[in-house]
Structure 1
Amino acid sequence: MKLKATGIIVEYNPLHNGHVYHAEQAKITTEADLVIAVMSGNFLQRGEPAFVDKWARAQMALSSNVDIVFELPYRFATAHAPLFAKGAVQLLQAAGCDAFCFGSEEGSIDAFTNSLTLLSETEEQYEAAVKQAVAAGISYPKALNEAYAAVSNDTKANVKLADLSKPNNILGFHYMKAAEDIRSNMKAVTIKRMGANYHDDAEEGKRIASATGIRKSFFETAALSKVTGFIPPITNNLLERWQTTGKSFGSWQTFYPQLRFIILRDGPERLRSIADVTEGIENLFFKAAQKSDTFEDFMSTVKSKRYTWTRIQRMLVHILNGFTYEMREQMEMPSYLRLLGMSQKGRSYLHEQKKNFSLPVVSKVAAIKDPSLQMDCTASDIYAIGTANNKGHIEIGKDYSSPPIIGK
């Protein structure tokens, strides 16, 4: 009898008590035998370096109710919400998941279903409203939200809709849209987020804080003791291990010297070829890098109403990693399942089911040649250099030397 798998889409930046609850509830709610996580690599959806690398975060996952960890390729992990969702949902479908479960502020799957139906029925009106807002100089995410609000006002008052101004609701909506687009047979389930919201600061005395709040609290003090109440012991142990090796925790402050060097070396002409760099913003980046000694100064110089902070950061991630428009065109669809780690139950599932997967499982990077996989390896090396902190050996080529992690 086939083991029943539920999929989750995660970043674990870092894994905290709320994440443990989500994975546990995903398994219970869907009556699954195991949980499969599609996890972003070393650079993330909001255009940021990860706090610690993908191997440390995969270890956290395997010690906290997750049985298999597949890496979401760089192409999708650093994309805007619709493409991020598209790549992740396709991987869960390829891995034979019977359901997928996401955390949301809404907590009701019916609200998302109603919103999908509404936008399908009002597609022309919605798209026209988006174009009008963008033409007026409004950022694309804000334009989407305003268009959604406009079509929502015309619907029946007794129909519950998802609030798409909330960050996790937005991602959840796109997960469901991606599943609908590929005609997935996976059941969609949502778990209401517990405790802190996405952008909230970590509050002393509480057990659950957002990953954003945890990182902010740490960077203000550089003391892990300030965040131990919000994270499980395995996360604390792995973060302590990371710190004792002399590595820096990933942040734009850490990576800015590298970024600044690349922008000044390449100049506007080369920057123009980088994915998402558009409308002459490369000139502004070059001028800002010439005079800005810190990442905060750089961002205050280039930020505008037209471009959100996140959109600019995605451009900068692509500049840092040398990810061009031409490279992106070669990676339209996920083409493999990169295995980062598995529990013993996950190992059994792979042994029984991988022959039925619609994509090959990659456990040895050297075994296949794929432009998307090569991009993931490049991003790992860039990340290793940025976090090395000029101390000790830099782990270049770790993708080739690191076998999948085997958990309990």
Structure 2
Amino acid sequence: MDIIMKVVGLITEYNPFHNGHAYHLNEAKRATGADYVVVVMSGNFVQRGTPAFLDKYSRTKMALKCGADLVFELPVCFSTASAEYFALGAVSLLEKLGIVDYICFGSESGDISLLTSISDLLLTESHGFKQIFKEAVKAGKTFPEARADSIKALLPEVSDEFLSSPNNILGIEYIKALKRLQSTIKPITITRKATAYHSQELDTDDTFAISSATAIRKTLKEGNTLNNLRRHVPAPAFAIMEEQFEKTFPIFEEDFSLLLHYKFMLEDRQTLLQYTDINSDLANRILRMYSEYESFPDLALSIKSRQWTLTRINRALIHILLNHRQDNFLTYQQKGFTQYARILGFKKESSHLLRKIVKNERIPVITKLGDAKNKLSKIGLTMLNEDLYAANLYNQVVFHKLGTPLKDEYTKGIIIS
């Protein structure tokens, strides 16, 4: 007879794993009473449209050392998508595992009731909502601005700050995804502690510093020593950073600049329109700008406008670099989003969870890439091939920059902690 157990799912990037992530993981277990933590984590490219600061296997080790039981990779087509599709890809994976009872996410508000009310409003899109939205667009508002106006008109208790907070936005999308997929998984939110998601500066608290991943990355990008980060990262995670520093990381957008420039030399307006998130206006703007830029960030900044945010541009450039085609992405949506569960790592004592997922047979579980062709549909293999291409490209950049050869995806083993 199966032992009754509670499992909480976390949707993460851990770019890199820091004290705030440790707090979230422990609070998720406490708030839900969960016995186990299953993590869906972005691979080597992340949702803000950039390469990961630290490779996915190092981040998997960090997660397992700091309390996670299983870590699955979010396919790159979703890890680099907008908040809506990032959420749908990750939630669909957690749902198909068949063992997850809760999803726990951090938010600036900590108000699950209000986040749920907004998600319901966005899902139903009442006549009143549509009318307000239409008028806002007609007045020259961008899509996010028009949507925010519509929400505030119908839910007066919602503020601009609430709707501009990145973790609130993701939380709304997680709840929407759960409802859209008719999932029985229960959403739980924890109020984010201390520094803001995009804070540029390290926390100065001497007792328990919680700094944003943005601040941590910026610290090393500015030439500071790794030791500056010791107080901001849990000891087991910091030990992994010490081991890998200047061997496999840090990796930044600039490191992909030459590859991106070469890619644009092969493109024209018609081919650009085949990629995810590229429309006619954006394709024209890219073609006007690309020949003069010096780096990936320079190009993104030159394209950025009131119409397109920097993150939106970064994601578009990553889709071009990684050959993410719009027609494939539409098919993924029609076929139920994430097509497989690729395990990156697990704790030995939690291996029974993996066996239970396999036994459930709700999603193909990839433990050996060589077996994938016998487990996956044609569209599943297309999705997996995008992951493999992204990983190989990332590994080549690591080798070019730092001189460290990384094993390819077929020879790199699962992380067992």
- Secondary structure of the residue aligned to 2:105 is strand
Q: How far apart are residue 98 of structure 1 and its match? A: 0.9
Match of 1:97 among 94, 100, 109: 100
Comparing 143-152 with 40-49, which one deviates more in the overlay? 143-152
Cα deviation for residue 97 of structure 1 reads 0.2
Q: Does structure 2 retain, via aligned residues, the 8 Å contact 1:111–1:160?
A: no
- Cα 1:391–1:163 change in 2 (3 A) is closer
Deviations along 1:179-227, whole A, 9 cap, x unmatched? 1112211121111101111111233532101111211122112421222
- Please tell me the root mean square deviation across aligned C-alpha atoms, in Å: 2.2
Would the aligned equivalents of 2:260 and 2:296 in 1 still touch at CA under 8 Å? no
> In the TM superposition, what is the alpha-carbon distance from 1:393 to its structure 2 partner?
5.4
Q: TM-score, normalised by structure 2?
A: 0.90
1:69-148 to 2 correspondences below 5 Å: 69-95=71-97, 96-119=99-122, 123-148=126-151
Describe the shift of the 1:130–1:260 C-alpha distance in structure 2 as closer, same or farther (beyond 3 A).
Answer: farther
Q: Give the counterpart of 2:414 among 383, 401, 404.
A: 404
Say if 1:5 and 1:36, in contact at 8 Å, map to a contact too: yes
Tell me the CA shift for residue 286 of structure 1. Answer: 2.8
Structure 1 CA distance for aligned equivalents of residues 350 and 361 of structure 2:
14
Checking the alignment, whether the CA contact within 8 Å between 2:398 and 2:404 is kept in structure 1 is no
How many residues in Structure 1 have an aligned counterpart in Structure 2? 401
- Residue-by-residue CA offset, 1:130-184 (whole Å, 9 max, x unaligned): 344345543322332222122223xxx6x99992221101101111111111221
Residues 388 and 400 (structure 1), Cα distance of their counterparts in 2 relative to 1, 3 Å cut = same
Q: After the TM superposition, which residues 2-401 of structure 1 pair with which residues of structure 2 at under 5 Å, given as runs?
A: 2-95=4-97, 96-119=99-122, 123-153=126-156, 163-206=162-205, 207-245=209-247, 247-332=248-333, 333-369=337-373, 370-392=381-403, 394-395=405-406, 398-401=408-411
Deviation string 1:272-297 (CA, Å, 9 cap, x unpaired) is 22211112322322332211113343
Q: Alpha-carbon deviation of 1:365?
A: 1.4
Query: Which shows bigger deviation, 383-392 or 36-45?
Result: 383-392
Contact between 2:276 and 2:316, CA under 8 Å: does it hold in 1?
yes
Residues 55, 249 of structure 2: 8 Å contact kept: no
Instruction: Provide the C-alpha distance between the structure 1 equivalents of 2:25 and 2:90, rounded to a whole number of angstroms.
Output: 16
Residues 101 and 188, structure 1, Cα contact 8 Å, conserved in 2: yes
Q: Is the 8 A contact 1:16 1:231 kept in 2?
A: yes
Shift >6 Å, 4+ stretches: 159-162
* Runs of 5+ consecutive residues of structure 2 not aligned to the other structure: 374-380
CA contact (8 A) 1:106 1:163 kept: yes
Deviations 1:299-338 (A, max 9, x none): 3321111111111111100111111223323422211111
Q: 1:281 to 1:343 in 2, by over 3 A?
A: same
What are the ranges of 5 or more consecutive residues in structure 1 without an aligned counterpart?
none
1:64-114, CA deviations, whole angstroms, 9 ceiling, x for partnerless residues?
A: 111000111112111111111111111111122011100011112222223
Query: Is residue 292–residue 298 contact of structure 1 (8 Å, CA) maintained in 2?
Result: yes
- Aligned residues of 2:38 and 2:70 also touching (Cα < 8 A): yes
SS at structure 2 position matched to 1:395: coil
CA change 1:244–1:307 in 2 (3 A) is closer
Q: Secondary structure at the match of 1:403?
A: coil
Change (3 A) 1:140 1:346: farther
SS in 2 for 1:39: strand
Q: Distance in 2 between matches of 1:238 and 1:340?
A: 16
Q: Secondary structure at the match of 2:37?
A: strand
Are residues 133 and 28 of structure 1, via their aligned partners in 2, closer, same or farther at CA, if it must alter by over 3 Å?
Answer: same
How high is the sequence identity, in percent, across the aligned residues? 35
The aligned amino acid for 2:233 is: I
- Relative to 1, partners in 2 of residues 1:181 and 1:161: Cα closer, same or farther, differing over 3 Å? farther
Looking at structure 2, the residues matched to 77 and 307 of structure 1 have their Cα atoms a distance apart, in angstroms, of: 19
Contact 1:248 1:389 in 2 (8 A): no
TM-score normalised according to structure 1 size: 0.92
